[in-house]
């Protein structure tokens, strides 16, 4: 179990990250917030900790603080594809119109795609979401198709559902 000190030893603890990811996937957002804030208070400076905190805050509707965590991490790691793609997803898919930005969503999706490996299905999925947010649904479907081809089996159904939304001219909202 991680001690939250931010050491390389702690940041590599796969079981802890898997548990945190599972909490986020199951909708236990308050627990993710409590856990990550505790680690940060103890000096954990790991990028993933801060990103999980931002994602959990986003999911509970605390958009202002979520954006603050994402942008803070973007300043710290401007060339980390996962960070850039998360920022793009936030700007493209945020449920609150005040925080959505077509320009920033597409900008960060393009930058994230350029930074990522061409086999990274998430980069294609983020570009599809950004294009749909801009109203470019035909292009979004094409990018969603590429994401669908590259996605692992456990993601295929969710990718297909998002692609279907784009064909129905529905941008993704989270």
pLDDT of 101-152, one tens digit each? 999 999 999 999 999 988 899 999 999 999 999 999 999 999 999 999 999 9
pTM above 0.75, yes or no: yes
pLDDT at 25 over 70: yes
How many residues are listed for the chain in this entry? 174
Cα–Cα distance measured from residue 85 to residue 126, given in angstroms and rounded to the nearest whole number = 7
The enclosing H or E element of 115 equals: helix 102-115
pLDDT at 2 over 90: no
Nearest to 129 by CA among 151, 157, 100, 156: 100
CB 30: neighbour CB atoms within 10 A? 12
Domain range list for the chain: 13-77, 97-174
Collect all residues with Cβ–Cβ distance below 8 Å to 160 and sequence separation of at least 6. 148
Q: Which residue has the tokens 């599809």?
A: 128
What mean pLDDT is predicted for residues 157-171? 97
Collect all residues with Cβ–Cβ distance below 8 Å to 149 and sequence separation of at least 6. 121
The correct CATH number of 97-174 out of 2.40.128, 1.25.40, 1.10.3470, 3.30.450 is: 1.25.40
């Amino acid at each position: 179990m991680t001690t939250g000190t931010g050491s390389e030893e702690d940041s590599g603890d796969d079981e802890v990250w898997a548990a945190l990811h599972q909490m986020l996937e199951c909708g236990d957002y308050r627990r993710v917030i409590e856990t990550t804030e505790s680690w940060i208070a103890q000096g954990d400076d790991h990028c993933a900790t801060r990103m999980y905190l931002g994602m959990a805050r986003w999911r509970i509707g605390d958009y202002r603080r979520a954006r603050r965590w994402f942008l803070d991490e973007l300043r710290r790691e401007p060339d980390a594809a996962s960070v850039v793609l998360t920022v793009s997803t936030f700007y493209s898919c945020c449920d609150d119109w005040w925080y959505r930005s077509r320009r920033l969503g597409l900008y960060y999706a393009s930058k994230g795609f350029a930074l990522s490996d061409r086999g990274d299905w998430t980069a294609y999925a983020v570009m599809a979401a950004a294009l749909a947010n801009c109203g470019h649904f035909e292009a979004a479907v094409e990018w969603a198709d590429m994401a669908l081809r590259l996605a692992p089996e456990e993601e295929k159904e969710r990718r297909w559902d998002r692609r279907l939304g784009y064909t129905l001219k529905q941008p993704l909202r989270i």
